[in-house]
Structure 1
Amino acid sequence: MNTSKLQAFATDARRQLMNAVQARLDAALVPNSDAQVDDPRAFDFLQHEIERAGGGEEGRRHVVERYAYRWFNRIIAFRYMDVHGFTGTPVVSPAGLTSMNGLPEVLAAAKRGEYDDSTVFSLRGNDKAKERIEGLLSGSIMADDPQGRAYGLLLQSECRFWNRNLPFMFESVVHESGRVDELLMPADLLAEGSVLRNAVEAMTPEDCGVDDPSGNVEIIGWLYQYYISERKNEVMDGFKKNHKAGADEIPAATQLFTPDWIVRYLVQNTVGRLWMQSHPDSQLYKNWDYYIQPSEDGSTENEDILNIQTPEELTVCDPACGSGHMLTYAFDLLYEIYEEEGYASSDIPRLILKHNLYGMEIDERAASLAAFALTMKARSRSRRFFKKQVEPNIQRIAPISFEEGDVADLNDLYQVDLDFTVWNTYAKADVYGSLIQPPQELVELAASSPESEDGIDTLFDPLLREHAEDVFTQTRYLARKYAAVVANPPYMGAKNMSGELKQFVQDHYEDGKADLMTAFMLRAICFIRRCGFWGMINLPSWLSLSSFEKLRNILLRQQYIASFLDLGRGIFGTDFGSVAFIVQGTLSKGRKGIYRRLYKGTILSEIRSVHAIEKLFLDKKFNVYKIDQEAFNSIPGLPIAYWIPEEQLSLFENAKMLSYFAKPKQGLATADNNRFLRNWYEIDHANFCVSATSMQTALSSGCKWFPTQKGGNFRRWYGNHEFVVNWFNNGFEICNFTNASGKLKSRPQNLDCLFIPGITW
């Protein structure tokens, strides 16, 4: 797959589509515009959306960003379906699928008088569009660009038709936002260099996986990452200026596309391991290149497992699913399991989407792509899948809020007495996402409420009922327990969080509050069924930093780390290192975990390619450590120090700590060694004192230079007495050393320890 070509296409498409949507928005906002006259309902919704997003320039920018992306999603969705033959008549592609100059086949067919009357144009409303298309193409309806306008109507008609099978990608015009999609549809899609024509060039049939029975939906994830890359750069630049991340910034700031082999490691060792535990005679694991066989060292005979009898019980959740990469591979692995169990191949895709896969996401655009990718997986395995009308369980965790009067009506409608705060659990859902843990009374109401409107009092506002149903749906996703959880969670330190997000994480995830990724680790523990498995990839900071000691305490004393990969640098480009790991939701004493250090030496400074790191993993003998995590409990601070040999680990249990004998202290730091240090042979020895035993005797000596230790090369018996320091007047110059702005540069510490006997290193 040519990712550089995809990147160029996606970043250029964002600029083009935003400019095109901006032009349509500007035209719509002109007083008495055609948009206001032709569809006042859509126009009113558009104005309200601008106001809800902050109004003025900020609100318009938000609307342009949102609808440009919605059209990007539609165009790449049609291109993917065109090359796989799912659309029948190609919608954005020429008949040969690859010609850069050919018209989209749906337009070429219309010019020949050929229409999908039994499908697309059998829909109510599309028949009128057909009449107008025919008029434009015949010349009976005059227009500046009749062919372009005809194609716009064809494209809108296709979107309306595909709403039946892909409502998450092609919103119904019954909803106002679906009507705004049409109002802001980009013009000039047929022009040379347009997004549509560039999609044909960039998304080749080979890259879309036409030769693979299950397709290649990975291309969707790459396009998502590349489309938002410029926005990500804007947000990251803002962090350098002390801007904080709110609802608009979080998706771009935290999105990272996970390499395929890491996804396979996470899924095979959670979903796959659960199946193998309950079905030890299965031979499927032999095809799983990234599956780690459980360690036999020190294992207990009666291993505590989650008993999975049927494939339907293997529920898998990705609480920050992005474009769905984890779930689409989970689909493939689950398909193997169903197939091995003898299920009919035509039924398996429907069963997987209905029973097994669950994703949550705060970014509307990513959630749509995830649902699309899973649907394409299902359709590639079953030609009749679209007739089964099964939608993927992908839930956008969206903000929903109610006024005081609404709360009173809701309590009357559902005959409950929930307070304002409970009904507004999701008021900030676009900031908190799946970190929200719904209150128990809301969970109980959602469980008892019917999932359709049957039996609901119709006297109440339909929109209010619709919002309440959305609350219940989100609650069901967030309250459920899953057999497996897999995720590449958002990474964001507390310093970059908005005030409300920082406070929320501190209130609900105290032991992981320093970063969103560690808050998601604690959330995974809540999501998982007892003895289920959860797997993640994130940053290594939580392994040893003191700010995560309480988190490590929870992991080591309540969970079982089954396997762990220390990946070093390079998985996400010029990153600072990453780790991937599998954890079981119960403590299993006596079982050893398997740890791998996938870099040479002990320092992870070298940046390697994803393939190079994968190659080290596939070398089953490279840097393998087997250790009982209980050993970490004996180390102060509970670091996950998996590389320490057992004989050294035993020292922490049996030997006295250094603190029993001495208290380590920071030595002298000058902040400018070139200024304050000299070699002993560079100074006037008449001004050199070697006999001071305290700060007082040093001061009374009147000398400028005193011995200081900085270590050095190996010396067997004696040496490294090389440096002297300017400590005249008890270090007055060092203690008052400032930068150009007058801020102190040095801060000498532990002055009471100077000039007394000790050990330095």
Structure 2
Amino acid sequence: MVDDIKEDDFDVDEGGQVEIIGWLYQYYNIEPHDKVVNINGGPIKTNDIPAATQLFTTDWVVRYMVDNSLGRLYLEYFPDSPIKEKLFYLLPGPIEERTDSFDLSKLKVLDDAMGSGHILVYAFDLLIRMYEEQGYGKRDATDAILAHNLYGLEIDKRAYQLAYFALMMKARQYNRRILSKPIRHNLHVFESTVDVPNEVFEKINASKDTIDDLHTLVSIFRQAKLLGSIMHFEKKFDFDALFCAVNSLPDSTQLDLFGLQAAKNTLQSILRIAQVLQTHFDVVATNPPYLNRMNGDLKKYVKKYYKAYSGDLFSVFIWKNIEMTKQDGYSAYMTPFVWMFIKTYEGLRKSILDSKQISSLIQMEYSAFEEATVPINTFVLKNDMNADATGTYLKLSDFKGGMEVQKKYVLTAIADPSVGYLYRTKQTNFEKVPGSPIAYWVPHKFTELFTDRKVDGEYDLTGSQHITADNKKFLRYFWEINSEKIGKKGKWARYSKGGPFRKYYGNNHYVVDISLPALKFYSSNSTSNLLDKKYWFKQGIAYTDITSGKPSFRFFVGGLFDKSGPVLCNVKELNYLLGLLNSKVFSYYLPIVNPTIHMQVKDIKNFPIIHQENGKLAKVKSVVQQTIEIAKSDYSDDESSNEFENFTILTHIAEHQKSPTTKLLIFFDFCDKYVPIQFRGLIFYGKLSKKR
């Protein structure tokens, strides 16, 4: 701490107070985090969830989230407020003026996965400015913020303690006497409850319905450490009646045989947290946990209550938090950006696009956030549906580097909204593209293409694939097998298995065993899959599923294929489709529907297609055929090609400079492999037995 950390990081005036607490706690958690997330890739246990999901939120991202939610909300009431000049990360865009009444003491801000409290502490600073502008002194403002404005929830007790400490230090910055009196605050930590003795309920003076509600809450909170803020309640509770009932229990000052005092404290804690979870907030801002390796209990719970958003814990938080937001309120997030594109989160996207408004969004460069192994975005939703509203988006994908680089380009865009990576668009455009990806950079003309025909309606494409379950046993390179045994009448078939980037032709290295014993294995083994025979030995278009942003499609002569090298079979106008898929248009389209490195058949099926007139179609097919021949010639110049005969460069050597012709090696079937055999300089002809 003394030698490696800058002194400014400890300086309150430099904003270091929050940063240092958060980062120290994250580094403290490195070993337990790595231990938990690397164990066999299995589900995360309940007690390990905090270690697996605790990530500190970068300071400028916190400021973006709060400036564009709490800050924007305040400006909607007071558009001429000088506070606007202090909102350094407020993205440019129109701000709608509100005319309803405003009471700052009733403004509520929640972080329901607060960690070490970074978001709440920055919100505290902003709220102080608001109170001062409304005529309050700093001391009174400090008390009001703690008592009325800021709320936090956390499943990790150590993180909760740090958040409480950070918030108290922030409060003391504005009121030196704050710690000299009882402090009312709204920070809570989830604790799983044990059964409350029946004797306790018998001593509560309340109606049967109220007692039943208490039983229900105790039952739910048995899983408090597992569920945390995603707890689901079937009904709206009457908390006035519940608190009154619990407070009817006498305070125990003597020997507490039935644990009345402990039970009373537990029930009061449950009620305080449940009340927060059933409150609607003006602003909810958080960096939620990222967790898709849920244990059985958590997965079952999420599937039951949040099925459409169950792809990851962060997607559950996205939806639950916007639902906890008041009408016209804001929810702000930092999450992986996969929710914007892939099929797993299609339900979440459609729910947001149908009923909420994306106010602003920043998509960061793929590897910018080094603390997590996932690409990140930060965004703000408004609990309102306005079809004519225009959101503001920043696409930082081209700017390599860490979070400081991303910060630089965000500030540049705020200072100069004309930069090429700032976009404004209506979210109704997203629904025109299959799967509704949040493709904000796509021109309107391009989205209009999706109302036309698409590949799926024009071609018979298969999503089927062959799985051997034991590639070492059932796959060979073509040069290991006698060519006479490869084909429809042989025991081996050509096999498409992906490979490096190569367009139009190539990557024909493998063959797969299709002998009767092998077919029997594929059909009976639980982890194998036998490709439907109607796709066997069909010419088609092969591609590599791992694209790394550069898709490539090739002519396939026919055979079988697996998930790494899928083949589009039964393709009419094969050359036309092959040329189209290898075009710049498809390369532009693919990141819109799937920015990951794995291309899927559905991505191809949804590609819009416009057929040309016969004359133009013939020309395209002819050009593609020429390209295939060129690619084939290039591929056959490689020694690993099944069509290699000689190096092309040798054809340009003068006759008198050529080496004497050498005899070709003779290959034999030997131990299930087709190999050249030569002993002491002599080549033996004939078939060797397996014993030999």
- Report the counterpart of residue 469 of structure 1 in structure 2: 268
Distance change >3 Å, CA 676–CA 618, structure 1 → 2: farther
- Report the counterpart of residue 120 of structure 1 in structure 2: none
Structure-1 separation of matches of 2:245 and 2:302: 31
- Report the counterpart of residue 369 of structure 2 in structure 1: 571
SS in 2 for 1:581: strand
- One-letter amino acid of the counterpart of residue 71, structure 2: G
Structure-1 separation of matches of 2:267 and 2:495: 74
SS in 2 for 1:536: strand
The answer to whether the Cα contact below 8 Å between 2:475 and 2:513 also exists between their aligned partners in 1 is no
- List alignment gaps of at least 5 residues for structure 1: 7-203, 297-302, 690-697
Of the three residues 529, 535, 545, the one matched with 1:753 is 535
**Is 2:332 the partner of 1:535?**
yes
Of the three residues 288, 306, 314, the one matched with 1:517 is 314
**Is 2:451 the partner of 1:625?**
no
Structure-2 separation of matches of 1:577 and 1:664: 31
**Is 2:270 the partner of 1:480?**
no
Distance change >3 Å, CA 703–CA 748, structure 1 → 2: closer
Of the three residues 195, 198, 209, the one matched with 2:11 is 209
Distance change >3 Å, CA 208–CA 519, structure 1 → 2: same
Of the three residues 385, 395, 401, the one matched with 2:188 is 395
The answer to whether the Cα contact below 8 Å between 1:318 and 1:487 also exists between their aligned partners in 2 is yes
- Report the counterpart of residue 18 of structure 1 in structure 2: none
CA RMSD of aligned residues (A): 3.7
Distance change >3 Å, CA 411–CA 387, structure 1 → 2: closer
- Report the counterpart of residue 299 of structure 2 in structure 1: 502
Paired-residue identity, %: 27
- Report the counterpart of residue 220 of structure 2 in structure 1: 425
Kindly provide the CA deviation profile for residues 227-251 of structure 1, in whole angstroms up to 9, marking residues without a partner as x: 222222222233x2635321x2111
After superposition, residues 164-175 of structure 1 pair within 5 angstroms as none
- One-letter amino acid of the counterpart of residue 50, structure 2: P
Displacement of 1:631 in angstroms is 1.8
Distance change >3 Å, CA 708–CA 625, structure 1 → 2: same
SS in 1 for 2:38: helix
Kindly provide the CA deviation profile for residues 188-227 of structure 1, in whole angstroms up to 9, marking residues without a partner as x: xxxxxxxxxxxxxxxx875421655x77232221222222
SS in 2 for 1:529: strand
After superposition, residues 280-291 of structure 1 pair within 5 angstroms as 280-291=79-90
- Report the counterpart of residue 69 of structure 2 in structure 1: 270
More helix by share: 1
- One-letter amino acid of the counterpart of residue 244, structure 1: I
- One-letter amino acid of the counterpart of residue 285, structure 2: V
Structure-2 separation of matches of 1:541 and 1:357: 30
**Is 2:174 the partner of 1:381?**
yes
**Is 2:238 the partner of 1:444?**
yes
Displacement of 1:736 in angstroms is 6.2
Structure-2 separation of matches of 1:262 and 1:731: 60
Of the three residues 20, 36, 44, the one matched with 1:244 is 44
Kindly provide the CA deviation profile for residues 70-107 of structure 1, in whole angstroms up to 9, marking residues without a partner as x: xxxxxxxxxxxxxxxxxxxxxxxxxxxxxxxxxxxxxx
- Report the counterpart of residue 193 of structure 1 in structure 2: none
SS in 1 for 2:222: coil
Kindly provide the CA deviation profile for residues 687-728 of structure 1, in whole angstroms up to 9, marking residues without a partner as x: 787xxxxxxxx33xx59676979799898xxx6378476467
TM-score when normalising by structure 2: 0.68
Displacement of 1:659 in angstroms is 1.8
**Is 2:385 the partner of 1:587?**
yes
Structure-2 separation of matches of 1:583 and 1:226: 31
SS in 2 for 1:370: helix
- Report the counterpart of residue 25 of structure 1 in structure 2: none
- One-letter amino acid of the counterpart of residue 480, structure 1: T
Structure-2 separation of matches of 1:545 and 1:458: 55
TM-score when normalising by structure 1: 0.62
Kindly provide the CA deviation profile for residues 419-466 of structure 1, in whole angstroms up to 9, marking residues without a partner as x: 63344231221111111134536x20446635995x655699333322
Structure-1 separation of matches of 2:239 and 2:13: 48
The answer to whether the Cα contact below 8 Å between 2:37 and 2:44 also exists between their aligned partners in 1 is no
Displacement of 1:330 in angstroms is 0.6
- Report the counterpart of residue 656 of structure 1 in structure 2: 453
Displacement of 1:664 in angstroms is 2.7
Distance change >3 Å, CA 686–CA 320, structure 1 → 2: closer
Distance change >3 Å, CA 670–CA 418, structure 1 → 2: closer
More strand by share: 2
Distance change >3 Å, CA 276–CA 451, structure 1 → 2: farther
Kindly provide the CA deviation profile for residues 351-398 of structure 1, in whole angstroms up to 9, marking residues without a partner as x: 221221110111122111111111111111222333453333211122
Distance change >3 Å, CA 371–CA 643, structure 1 → 2: same
Structure-2 separation of matches of 1:306 and 1:233: 51
Distance change >3 Å, CA 4–CA 319, structure 1 → 2: farther
- Report the counterpart of residue 331 of structure 1 in structure 2: 124
Of the three residues 518, 526, 530, the one matched with 2:323 is 526
Of the three residues 233, 241, 247, the one matched with 2:34 is 233
Displacement of 1:332 in angstroms is 1.0
Structure-1 separation of matches of 2:197 and 2:380: 45
The answer to whether the Cα contact below 8 Å between 1:599 and 1:613 also exists between their aligned partners in 2 is no
The answer to whether the Cα contact below 8 Å between 1:235 and 1:252 also exists between their aligned partners in 2 is yes
Distance change >3 Å, CA 641–CA 582, structure 1 → 2: same
Distance change >3 Å, CA 410–CA 551, structure 1 → 2: farther
Displacement of 1:548 in angstroms is 1.9
**Is 2:640 the partner of 1:640?**
no
SS in 2 for 1:613: helix
After superposition, residues 124-273 of structure 1 pair within 5 angstroms as 206-209=8-11, 212=14, 216-238=17-39, 240=40, 242=42, 244-246=44-46, 248-273=47-72
Distance change >3 Å, CA 221–CA 712, structure 1 → 2: closer
Structure-2 separation of matches of 1:398 and 1:569: 35
Of the three residues 505, 513, 528, the one matched with 1:720 is 505
Structure-2 separation of matches of 1:594 and 1:284: 21
